[in-house]
Amino acid sequence: MSQTHAHKTLQVSASRALGPLTPEEALLFEKLDLKRLPRHVAVIMDGNGRWAQQRHLPRVAGHRSGTSTARSTIETCARLKIEALTLYAFSVENWRRPKTEIDFLMQLLREYLRREMPLLQKNNIRMRFLGRTDELPRGVQDDVRDAMERTAGNQGMVLCVALNYGGRAEIVDAVNSILAEQKAHASRTGITEEMLARHMYTSGLPDPDLLIRTSGEMRVSNFLLWQIAYAEIFVTETLWPDFNRARLLEALVEFQKRERRYGGIREGQPVTENPARVVGE
């Protein structure tokens, strides 16, 4: 099979998996190279409150609408055969919000896990939760465990929901887990990067190649601090409830335009050209 033919076949089968595309989605999809998709996409789903405010609705209406966006993002990534998707649902800092909003978010998540289970199963998705889940309300903990157990045998995309998550807390937890392990084995060998990666909540997953943040803020907000060392960051003004499939495809197309160097130099560039540029890029 020629390369162009193989490319076309891949494109057609992926497009079938996505179902009917709008003209805008079809145009963006044409631009995508399915062999160079990110392995892991991480998303800071921001702007639910502003979306609601613009419509003179209570903030929680924005969160509810945000779950529909989560659904379409999860399904699209799974069908594009992206290995892992991580959604930032609740941070360790979010406990500072009004109790009514926190309760609503927890309830929404529980509802979501129950309602979406058939869709998760149909798409062969395995669920993981990143964060100090043992500090969540008892009912949420039960549903989280149940969702993990029910999807444990699935072989497709890993969907990570960051819940009571903090990037600094994760590093502290990883270090403490290494120390506990070393104590149990009566060894003290020092800490390596590989060891830390193995004790992170994301152990076994590739690091995110693409970090998407909706609603325009240029911040990392304590999200996956260790793992995003080399991620491409895509910030869009679009508010999370409006981040539809076309906007997601647009982020993937934009990702493919970036040149990833991991601190090295551009491929084919003479090594002597400007060594100073290498540092920190």
For the bound state, the minimum distance from the C-beta of residue 77 to ligand FPP, rounded and expressed in Å, comes to 13
Q: Closer CB to ligand FPP, residue 204 or residue 216? A: 216
Q: Closer CB to ligand FPP, residue 148 or residue 197? A: 148
> How far, in Å, CA of 189 to CA of 89, rounded?
36
> How far, in Å, CA of 173 to CA of 167, rounded?
10
- Can you tell me whether residue 43 is helix, strand or coil? strand
Task: Kindly state whether residue 244 participates in binding ligand FPP, applying the rule CB under 6 A.
Answer: no
Of residues 197 through 236, those in contact with ligand FPP by CB under 6 A are 215
> How far, in Å, CA of 53 to CA of 56, rounded?
5
167 near 188, Cβ under 8 Å?
Answer: no
Which region, judged by CB under 6 A, interacts with ligand FPP, from 21-29, 103-111, 172-180, 205-213? 103-111
For the bound state, the minimum distance from the C-beta of residue 108 to ligand FPP, rounded and expressed in Å, comes to 5
280 near 263, Cβ under 8 Å?
Answer: yes
Q: Closer CB to ligand FPP, residue 71 or residue 198? A: 71
- Can you tell me whether residue 94 is helix, strand or coil? helix
Residue nearest ligand FPP, CB atom distance: 49
Each residue 46-85 as x (binds ligand FPP by CB under 6 A) or -, in order, gives xxxxx------------x--xx--x---------------
Q: Could you list the active site residues?
A: 46, 94
Of residues 13 through 52, those in contact with ligand FPP by CB under 6 A are 45-50
For the bound state, the minimum distance from the C-beta of residue 49 to ligand FPP, rounded and expressed in Å, comes to 2
Of residues 136 through 195, those in contact with ligand FPP by CB under 6 A are 161
H-helix or E-strand spanning residue 273: none
Task: Kindly state whether residue 87 participates in binding ligand FPP, applying the rule CB under 6 A.
Answer: yes
> How far, in Å, CA of 100 to CA of 60, rounded?
9
Task: Kindly state whether residue 89 participates in binding ligand FPP, applying the rule CB under 6 A.
Answer: yes
Q: Closer CB to ligand FPP, residue 15 or residue 67? A: 67
> How far, in Å, CA of 127 to CA of 114, rounded?
13
> How far, in Å, CA of 161 to CA of 67, rounded?
12
> How far, in Å, CA of 90 to CA of 162, rounded?
6
Burial of 249 (0-12, 13-18, 19+ CB in 10 A): buried
Task: Kindly state whether residue 125 participates in binding ligand FPP, applying the rule CB under 6 A.
Answer: no
Task: Kindly state whether residue 112 participates in binding ligand FPP, applying the rule CB under 6 A.
Answer: yes
> How far, in Å, CA of 230 to CA of 208, rounded?
8
Residues that bind ligand FPP (CB under 6 A): 45-50, 63, 66-67, 70, 87, 89, 94, 105, 108-109, 112, 161, 215
